[in-house]
Amino acid sequence: MTLASYISIARIFMIPLFLHFFAYPGGRPWSVAVLLLAGASDMLDGYLARSRNEVSTLGKILDPVADKLMVISAMVALMVTRELPEWLGLGLFLKELVQVIGGAKYYLDHQELLSASWIGKGATVVLYLGIISTILKFSFGVYLVATGFFISVLAGIDYYFKSRRA
């Protein structure tokens, strides 16, 4: 297993830590720190995999799964505290579920994975920024999350058309 894959796994293990700090009185700044660390580790694992020529099938699966799990966990936490509308969290969850099922079907049919797109990476960045802004009680946070959601839907549409061309 590559160093980049270990970093992706570490990002998955950051989720309970994020949730602990999020739920703990006075822990919100620490939950933001965990999200920032997760975002930085997302950039780092991709850089390491490419620069060390260690791009792997496992890494191509772990990296987006870690992102999806962190984002969905944070959105559920914000929905539970009524800081985020339920339609937004449920909409993103359903979109991700459809995309994961579609990606699995594509892999079974073609024995290869579709590469991440810049649209999807941009959506992840906007979602992280929106979640952090919402946690920090910035009034525009929910709008950023909604923007990230819609960019994510565009990324899902892009992946669909990429899969049809293959």
The arithmetic mean of pLDDT across residues 14-21, rounded, is 97
The Cα–Cα gap between 78 and 117 comes to 27
Give pLDDT, residue 59. Answer: 84
Report pLDDT digits (tens) over 87-100: 999 999 999 888 88
Q: Which CATH architecture group holds 3-165?
A: Up-down Bundle (1.20)
The Cα–Cα gap between 2 and 20 comes to 29
Q: What is the CA radius of gyration of the chain?
A: 16
Tell me the CB-side half-sphere exposure of residue 144, using CA atoms within 13 A: 20
Closest CA to 166 of 83, 99, 109, 86: 109
**What is the chain's mean pLDDT, rounded?**
91
Contact 59, 45 (CB under 8 A): yes
The Cα–Cα gap between 93 and 75 comes to 9
Over 80: is that where the pLDDT of 166 sits? Answer: no
Report pLDDT digits (tens) over 52-107: 888 888 888 888 889 999 999 999 999 999 999 999 999 999 998 888 888 888 88
List all residues 6 or more positions away from 131 whose beta carbon is below 8 Å from its beta carbon: 35, 71, 74, 75, 78, 141, 145
Over 90: is that where the pLDDT of 13 sits? Answer: yes
pTM for this prediction: 0.90
Phi first, then psi: give them for residue 115, nearest 5 degrees: -75, 155
Give the pLDDT band of residue 116 (cuts 50, 70, 90).
confident
